[in-house]
């Protein structure tokens, strides 16, 4: 049976809209909030280089695998895997890829929405001028005061969840297209304004040094695992989000070109965020390894010192919220598309139910920053750290590993060749080598070395 040419959920209107939507999924809190703080916790330079290697040798091939599987199946990841395993007489256990993606999606969405709520709160704080002329101490105090008020965190979590559910109910395609068309270019522009500011700070050189100085001693198995986990998270890989978006990609779009563009855009934003944040850290004597609060202390501080800082700061947090919402939408898409297909349910109903479940789960993250701040879970300092650890470092890489193996070995060569526009030959061999060997082996080696250590 030939693969369908259209998905019942709609289609991206062009190759560029796919690039924008997938970049909208990839670029989010992972780049601007998580990348700098994880790089800070892992000592900078060596981590950043490992991260870039993981993007190129694990991320890009796995993203290609997700898009090609999605486009071949043209349904939600679970039904795509069901359809493809049946059609090609493969073991039905492959469908677990789809289920584990849905589970990871709930967990990620639960905390993602809480952090995105912080960005919403900071839109108001920046707009009100409360941070004008603030010192590092003021900015730190404002953030920790905020965290001490769980009801406030819950309020912003709820607002962000409601916005996500609303957009998702309207359908990913119409909900997203307009949003990404505007916000992506604006976000880039503003990152460069901030970069310009960072360059004028005293800590610029030290920040750049911190980001890129390669110190072999800092390459520990844990740092490698963190880099790999971050590569999966930032590219939205290993849980079917890109596979779900792949289902809406027009048949004549080149997977290699689009995936490369998406990976480059995503990496540029993450590296730019690091280059903005670390110089501010060093200029103000802050701690690079301070954890999840890093962006929320440094960026307001910078805007507080800049001319027109209140205006730019407000725009910045609006853009971060946009970046977060376009990612949140994609996190829920695998589960949403599945439920709509399976029960013929109305999108809005499904969206509300999904939203309520992850909202409740998200309370665990809210309390991780106040009531339960000292309650370690599963060897991690808080429940939030545990959820983030389980998803980034275990579920996404494992999901990605099996996705790569499925594309390389379970799908017939002709199907892969047609999807990638290569008919065997040297390119076919390279693809098989990278997707079937290099990427899965790299994931396995990182896992095993982290386990052994």
Shortest reach from residue 92's CB to ligand PFF, in Å = 24
Nearer to ligand PFF, 304 or 399 (CB): 399
**Pair 316, 309: CB distance under 8 Å:** no
Side-chain-side CA neighbours of 141 within 13 Å: the count stands at: 7
Nearer to ligand PFF, 323 or 415 (CB): 323
Shortest reach from residue 244's CB to ligand PFF, in Å = 9
Shortest reach from residue 330's CB to ligand PFF, in Å = 5
Shortest reach from residue 238's CB to ligand PFF, in Å = 8
Nearer to ligand PFF, 29 or 131 (CB): 29
Task: Give the Cα separation of 210 and 208 in Å (integer).
Answer: 5
Residue nearest to ligand PFF (CB): 30
Shortest reach from residue 72's CB to ligand PFF, in Å = 19
Reference 388, options 150, 225, 229, 219; nearest CA is 229
Task: Give the Cα separation of 160 and 363 in Å (integer).
Answer: 14
Q: Beta partners for 377? A: 380
Shortest reach from residue 129's CB to ligand PFF, in Å = 29
Shortest reach from residue 365's CB to ligand PFF, in Å = 15
Nearer to ligand PFF, 27 or 139 (CB): 27
Nearer to ligand PFF, 76 or 284 (CB): 76
Nearer to ligand PFF, 236 or 365 (CB): 236
CA distances in angstroms from 371 to 121, 147, 375, listed in the order given: 20, 10, 9
Shortest reach from residue 396's CB to ligand PFF, in Å = 7
Residue whose token pair is 């802050």: 286
DSSP 257-276: HHHHHHHHHHHHHHHHHHHH
DSSP state, residue 28: S
Nearer to ligand PFF, 310 or 393 (CB): 393
Q: Where are the alpha helices (DSSP H) in 74-220?
A: 77-87, 96-127, 136-147, 150-169, 172-199, 204-212
Reference 176, options 340, 327, 319; nearest CA is 327
Task: Give the Cα separation of 179 and 168 in Å (integer).
Answer: 12
DSSP 415-429: HHHHHHT--SHHHHH
Overall size of the chain counted in residues? 453
Q: Beta partners for 380? A: 377
Other residues' Cβ atoms within 10 Å of the Cβ of residue 451: 9
Shortest reach from residue 386's CB to ligand PFF, in Å = 17
List Cβ neighbours of 287 (8 Å cut-off, separation of 6 or more).
Answer: 40, 281
Q: Beta partners for 27? A: none
Nearer to ligand PFF, 309 or 400 (CB): 400
Site residues (vs ligand PFF, CB under 6 A): 25-26, 28-31, 108, 233-234, 236, 239, 241, 327, 330-331
Joined tokens for residue 115: 């952090």
Shortest reach from residue 136's CB to ligand PFF, in Å = 26
Nearer to ligand PFF, 72 or 266 (CB): 266
Nearer to ligand PFF, 60 or 239 (CB): 239
Nearer to ligand PFF, 197 or 233 (CB): 233
Shortest reach from residue 25's CB to ligand PFF, in Å = 5
Other residues' Cβ atoms within 10 Å of the Cβ of residue 6: 12
DSSP 198-262: HHTSTTHHHHHHHHH---GGG--HHHHHHHHHHHHHHTT-SSSHHHHHHTTS-TTS-HHHHHHHH
């Amino acid at each position: 049976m030939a693969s369908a040419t259209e998905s019942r959920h709609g289609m991206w209107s062009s190759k560029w809209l796919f690039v924008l939507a997938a970049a909208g999924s990839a670029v989010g809190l992972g780049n601007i909030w998580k990348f700098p703080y994880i790089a800070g916790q892992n000592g900078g330079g060596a981590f950043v280089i490992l991260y870039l290697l993981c993007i190129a040798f694990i991320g890009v091939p796995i993203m290609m695998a997700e898009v090609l599987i999605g486009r071949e199946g043209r349904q939600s990841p679970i039904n795509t895997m069901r359809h493809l395993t049946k059609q090609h007489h493969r073991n039905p256990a492959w469908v677990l890829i789809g289920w584990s993606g849905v589970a990871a999606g709930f967990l990620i969405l639960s905390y993602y929405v809480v952090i995105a709520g912080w960005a919403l709160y900071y839109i108001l704080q920046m707009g009100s001028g409360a941070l004008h002329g603030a010192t590092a101490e003021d900015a730190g105090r404002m953030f920790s005061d905020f965290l001490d008020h769980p009801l406030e965190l819950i309020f912003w979590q709820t607002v962000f969840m409601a916005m996500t559910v609303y957009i998702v109910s309207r359908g990913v395609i119409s909900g997203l297209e307009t949003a990404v068309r505007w916000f992506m270019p604006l976000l880039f522009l503003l990152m460069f304004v901030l970069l310009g500011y960072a360059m004028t700070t005293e800590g610029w050189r030290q920040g750049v040094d911190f980001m890129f100085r390669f110190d072999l001693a800092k390459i520990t198995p844990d740092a490698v695992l963190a880099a790999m986990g971050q590569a999966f998270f930032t590219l939205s890989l290993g849980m079917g989000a890109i596979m779900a978006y792949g289902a809406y990609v027009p048949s004549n779009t080149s997977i290699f070109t689009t995936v490369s563009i998406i990976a480059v855009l995503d990496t540029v934003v993450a590296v730019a965020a690091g280059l903005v944040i670390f110089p501010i850290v060093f200029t103000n004597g802050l701690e690079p390894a301070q954890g999840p609060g890093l962006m929320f202390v440094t960026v307001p501080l910078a805007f507080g010192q800049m001319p027109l800082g209140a205006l730019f700061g407000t725009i910045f947090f609006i853009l971060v919220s946009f970046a977060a919402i376009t990612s949140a939408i994609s996190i829920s898409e695998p589960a949403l598309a599945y439920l709509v297909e399976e029960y013929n349910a109305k999108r809005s109903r499904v969206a509300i139910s999904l939203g309520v479940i992850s909202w409740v789960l998200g309370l665990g993250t809210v309390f991780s920053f106040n009531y339960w701040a000292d309650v370690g879970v599963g060897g991690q300092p808080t429940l939030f750290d545990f959820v983030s650890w389980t998803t980034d470092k275990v579920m996404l890489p494992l999901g990605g590993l099996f996705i790569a193996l499925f594309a390389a070995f379970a799908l017939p060569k002709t199907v892969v060749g047609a999807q990638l526009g290569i008919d065997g030959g040297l390119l076919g061999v390279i693809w098989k080598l990278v997707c079937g060997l290099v990427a899965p082996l790299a994931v396995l080696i990182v896992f095993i070395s982290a386990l052994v250590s």
